Structure 1
């Protein structure tokens, strides 16, 4: 009986951690969405991969979230932005479309081929689905307009669907990382 309780507690904590519920409380004194030039460097996580000679840039507040944006840059080459959508839960969604909608009703959809999604069984009760896209300049401009809003909802759709309301901190962080071009 004690083993089962420990396993359930471990699984619960794993789900919380993977969904970002155990993350850092956002700093209310940080940069506003309209002024992304001040102090943004302190919010950016940088990781260099010496094997590929690539540096990755992401926002500290977006680790373990259902949506994240990051930049990749090789020396002497231009940088590229990518967006990643993630699901972690007890039931498969098999999502093939992702829709973002802001408070004004503006929406952006990403259609996903089955070959572009990564699926995994994390444990006997937890599954994972992830999709990752290269963003064009037009996508970046459209997403910045979408994230310059007090609220944004995310829907992962497929055989079933899952809705998420992004927190103010997540929206601000997404706007900031889109504004940051290494």
Structure 2
């Protein structure tokens, strides 16, 4: 199954990861590695943590790794070191990982949402409808606005509604 790499058989590190997570008291975790890097993700006290490593990160530190499975081995070995510290009473796992919570990348706010004047993502289609009504009071040609500005408002509002509708199914 696994192939011989710089750090040995990748299957061995998959098994070692299971043992390390058991030592840390972590029952649910996931991981993946490919040609260029790896990640290990787990929940501890309902918070998500993620350890990532790659050939590129290693190279930046002057470490020459050849395979993504080598990066995976380094992550597993680092987690094993952490398990040793916890077992020896040097650190509590919660203390050590407290500053490492994994946050998903921020959602890039589309221009049509920005055009509607939102500084953060609206939480519902109703927020968009309300913002449209507020802006229409000043941008509608009958209220002193221009046809062009009102059409841009209408288009941005329609795009935002469609965007929300598409995400409802994700």
Structure showing the higher helix proportion among its residues: 2
TM-score of the pair, normalised by structure 1: 0.21
- From the CA coordinates, give the structure whose radius of gyration is larger: 2
Structure showing the higher strand proportion among its residues: 1
TM-score of the pair, normalised by structure 2: 0.22
